[in-house]
Each structure stands twice: as C-alpha cells, then as structure tokens.
A and B are shown apart, each in its own frame.
Chain A
C-alpha cells in the first residue's frame, strides 16, 4: 500500500501531457533559381499572402484560394494541389513562399496541409508579394 502511495504521485508527476513533434523543412536550393528547360519540371510553390493562397509554378499562377471568414481555406488548397498533381507534377517537394506578416501558426498549418496533399519535402522561402502584383491570369481553385 505504501508502495502505491509513493509510486502513483511519482508517475503522475512524470506523465507527459503535451506531446512534442518536429516538422522538417528545407530552404530552397540554388538550383531552383537557374534556367530550367521544361517549366513542368519546376516544383510547385504555394504563395501565402494575407488575403489568399496561390499555387504557382515559376511565374505561372495555377490556382488561387481566397481567404474565407475564418482565415485560410486550407481544405480548398489541398483539393487544388491534388488536382494539379494528378497531371503528373512532381510530388516530392513544394515550396511555401511566405509574406512577412504571416503568423507562424498559419505557416505550420500550411506545411501540414501540403504534407496532407502528398508533398514530402516542404521548403520555406521569402514571399513573392503576389498580392502587390495581383493574380490576373490565375484560375480560381474551383475551376
């Protein structure tokens, strides 16, 4: 009985109530900035701006996912990424280009959703300020 009285408080004090994990990420390699013969060989990029998510390949905007009232619409982003990669795009890596004002919690959520869409290697890069350039020419993720 005394053993229980000692052992149980000890175990309660040692119990791990918040589990920790790590998220691996990489910086974009220099090779991505060089000239590529086939634009289809370029990896996809998700541009995170304060008002939308945009999926791009090189200079081409493939899909835009405007924010909803609650924030980023990650479910539509995942659907857009899956739709784009069905055509045989490279699934191994994707880069998230992030604007300065984006919160870290949103970045982690976006990384999670990219992994959910099948991308193993997620890279982080400085934003491309797509919001400033506008998104003319891009298809909405619904189409």
Chain B
C-alpha cells in the first residue's frame, strides 16, 4: 500500500516511477526484531554448555544449571572438563564398577582444589542412548572420589 502510494505520488511529482523503500517502516520492523531478541537474550550467559558430541535427554526440570565439575559420558568415553579420560571400550565390559583413570583424575582434582571428603558437587552429562551399566560405573567412581552430590544435565522440554 505504502509502496503503491509512493509510486503514484512519485509519478504525480513527475518522477520516473522507481519505488524507494520506506525507511521509517523498516526501522519499525528492526526495532520490533531488536526488542524480541533482547527479550530472549539471556544476561546470565551460557554458564554451562552441553558437550557437542552427545545428545542430552529431555526433561521437564526447570532448575538452572550452575557451573561445577562436569563429567561427560559420550559414545566414545568419559571426559572430565572436556578432556577424554577413559575410553568406553576400556571399562564398559569390566567386572569392577571403578574406572581407574577417572578416579585418579578426580582425586588429583579434589586434592589440588583442597576439597574435603564430604559430598562434593558434580554434574553429569550423558548421551541419551547410553545404558545404565555405563552411568552407574561413572556414578560409583565419582562417589568413591568424594564427588557424590550429583546433578544430571538435561535439555529443557515441554514443562
């Protein structure tokens, strides 16, 4: 409508009939877009990021994650703060629930950080297609290394 009107007014004014974009309506549109994006923009930032090589399960939980020690269980193995500690093939079929590599890393970390023997916090990220036999080994090892206050990182689904 605006463009038609501007064409006709341009013709009436003896112009060559080329429509010019209305800067005012474009700024209006961009302002609406800006407000929408600012609203969805989290000022808290991404304090916790999901590992790129796993698919988190969906949950109805609305509890905000906080940054703490992150153990990732991917299809390739167990990672501690992004570094591969124990390949899955090394412990998946073992009789013992303990994962030696992960245990020693966690104990080193606890000693370096001066953490006590009480329940220290750990967040577990696990691929949704892994089974409990893998998860329980990681949980057991973390608990043995004094990290027994567990949280699971999940994707927020329909609540």
Contact = CB atoms under 8 A, between A and B. Distances in A.
B132 A104 contact: yes
Contacts, number: 123
Given A105-B128, A105-B129, A22 B34 contact: no
The DSSP consensus for interface residues of chain B is mixed
A14 B41 contact: yes
Given A108-B59, A108-B152, A21 B135 contact: no
Contact of A22 (B23, B130, B132, B154): B154
Interface residues of A, number: 37
Interface in B51-81: 56-66
Interface residues of B, number: 45
Given A8-B33, A22-B63, A100 B132 contact: yes
B48 A20 contact: yes
16 contacts: A1-B27, A4-B27, A12-B37, A19-B155, A23-B63, A23-B151, A23-B152, A25-B150, A98-B132, A103-B130, A103-B131, A103-B132, A108-B57, A108-B59, A112-B59, A124-B136
Interface of A: 1, 4, 7-8, 11-12, 14-16, 18-27, 98-105, 107-109, 111-112, 115-116, 124, 126-127
